[in-house]
Structure 1
């Protein structure tokens, strides 16, 4: 019950979409909630598009001041294009999309900034039976009755609890980017504007869809075309060289827009013209600052310890093939909320009951996206229209 948590403090480490969803739900239970985000400035323009699965949209459908229809685009087809822009397969399937920044800004607007603390990197923590103590590199120390770590793939909690746990490189990277819809040809707008679109090549595939424009525009011509293009890169020196940015810094997780070495951008663009359907290639070629995401599998053997919970990418970082990373973080937050709401104030007991199903869901998701990646990047069995390849957190299409 909500009254069980009045007067108690919850701390959320990580102020991204998963962290903010968790913070909003915990506040609804009566907790006083503080969010601690490591970056010193608001998380604007981080990442590109996201597919809005039902769990991701649940907050906006039930509790937000914002309507999801005002934050997202929609398409009505899943389409595969051949080398000459010929349509190899077309299914009447509806999907809704937004940009990372749009969803982040809306959640932060719902939460407010009074208890959203920027520039606070949590370096360690301890807990006893009654509370958790967080320590920050700034010298700050905070105590809370419940701590949720939503601090992503480099999570402090995961490193602290499982110091030998390693990310498993998939064997490929995702080239990402966006381009204003008005900057591509009429034929490309016609093919991509109302579809989740694939172009498949040997050991590679690209997926494209329209997302809100930088100013939030949702109408055709105002939107951005967003894509992820998966390309194989051997582990070791080739990957390390690719992920060394223009400053000479090693970037093992992602290389940000404007920081990818020019020689790699030039090679990628040449390959797009050779390998992809013309509409997909045009979108890639017209992207001013493409960037890189290294694709990993990350699993965790436990998501709860005492009064500490680990959610989202901090626990399971799934390859993007099922478009379920943001949905998994939201599902972790909602199910934690549901278990706490019936726990009568017993936080450790609620976390123990919450953990098993979320571990199972995370492992099932990793297994499925790893198989999807193998089919596209290794086996060459990514077949247009195969229903097993559809997006979904809980399974293909769901």
Structure 2
């Protein structure tokens, strides 16, 4: 017994962090409902996730699903020059999944009965005994614990810390995937067993293979990438973020919605600047999309019976590949604090908050420095161990 049998939890946001939280809270005895704002099942646009220990811990410790069935792996980290030459190579194993593969696996474990689509939280109130979440549909949900896992545009963060607003980094990430079997034999051989980097002045691209929608075998795998490119704030960025429908994006533009002229320019620049193998992947992407790279960190992650986790609390640039790991780490630490508090939710949140705030601050500081080195200072050096992926530090 944990002291939470019959207690209710509302998780706002049904993505990877929200589902991990919901599963752990249910294991503690909570009756858990997940509320996702989108009206249809989530689509991760095929993007890749680097599987760090916190990310995959649910499947390693609690699930009947085999984490190896959800992932691909590579044995090396390498840097390529303009002639596809390998200028630096380390043996370092990493594993990866695709956003959609991982999301579907977590949802399969949680189930859909208490996973509610089309519910956009717009407000929350609380007293000593419970919290009430209000939704734009008119729905209300009462709970003993409310966890906002609602991402970089978190309504929960705006309620707990209105001063915490998105700060644009000065660059965007172009993202996309290409079926590996569509690439040339030489490119498949060069990129297939490595995280590969092509570093150019004020920019770099990172590539690695991830599972496809139908499996992890060679015939299914996708080559995934993110290419960081500077775009000045103001009119230039604002124009770029107008999609083909005339709507303005705030944090991303979805596949198929980026104006063709920007896609054409991106492909031409890839051919002129990047290692040929990287340029081939970029050119072969049918529908690349754009992520606006921004920073935000709340000064609070807990208030009474309300908690923020993951990007809702602190959104870090992707350079450490630690966004999903941070959300999972927040969720596991929250479960530990609740277990120790034996039924006292506010006491658990007070105990949990300081370390998670510190974790977010350290991660944000490190990835901001990595971005500055790549995009502005030109000190992203092949083989520098401080540039490795990791939530708690380089390679960790």
The normalised TM-score by structure 1 is: 0.99
The within-5 A match list for 1:90-105 is 90-105=89-104
The normalised TM-score by structure 2 is: 0.99
- Alignment of 1:318 onto 2:316: yes
Write out per-residue CA displacement over residues 157-201 of structure 1, whole angstroms, 9 at most, x where no aligned residue: 111222232111110000000000011101100111000000001
In the alignment of these two chains, the number of paired residues is: 396
The 2-side partners of 1:281 and 1:384 are apart by: 19
Write out per-residue CA displacement over residues 318-342 of structure 1, whole angstroms, 9 at most, x where no aligned residue: 0000000000000000000001011
The 2-side partners of 1:146 and 1:45 are apart by: 27
Name 1:196's counterpart in structure 2. Answer: 195
The within-5 A match list for 1:154-233 is 154-216=153-215, 218-233=216-231
Further displaced range: 109-118 or 161-170: 161-170
Name which of 227, 240, 253 aligns with 1:242: 240
Contact 2:161 2:300 (8 Å CA) reproduced? no
The 1-side partners of 2:313 and 2:173 are apart by: 21
Name 1:266's counterpart in structure 2. Answer: 264
The within-5 A match list for 1:143-162 is 143-162=142-161
Offset at residue 247 of structure 1 (A): 0.8
Provide structure 1 residue ranges, at least 5 long, that are not aligned to the other structure: none
Name 1:122's counterpart in structure 2. Answer: 121
The 2-side partners of 1:140 and 1:222 are apart by: 41
Name 1:290's counterpart in structure 2. Answer: 288
The within-5 A match list for 1:16-27 is 16-27=15-26
Name 1:15's counterpart in structure 2. Answer: 14
Name 2:108's counterpart in structure 1. Answer: 109
Write out per-residue CA displacement over residues 52-88 of structure 1, whole angstroms, 9 at most, x where no aligned residue: 0010010000011211100000000001000000000
Contact 2:46 2:177 (8 Å CA) reproduced? no
Write out per-residue CA displacement over residues 36-62 of structure 1, whole angstroms, 9 at most, x where no aligned residue: 000001113445000000100100000
The 2-side partners of 1:221 and 1:88 are apart by: 29
Provide structure 2 residue ranges, at least 5 long, that are not aligned to the other structure: none
Q: Over the residues paired in the alignment, what is the CA RMSD in angstroms? A: 0.8
Name 2:305's counterpart in structure 1. Answer: 307
Offset at residue 219 of structure 1 (A): 2.2
Contact 2:35 2:117 (8 Å CA) reproduced? yes
The 1-side partners of 2:364 and 2:33 are apart by: 31
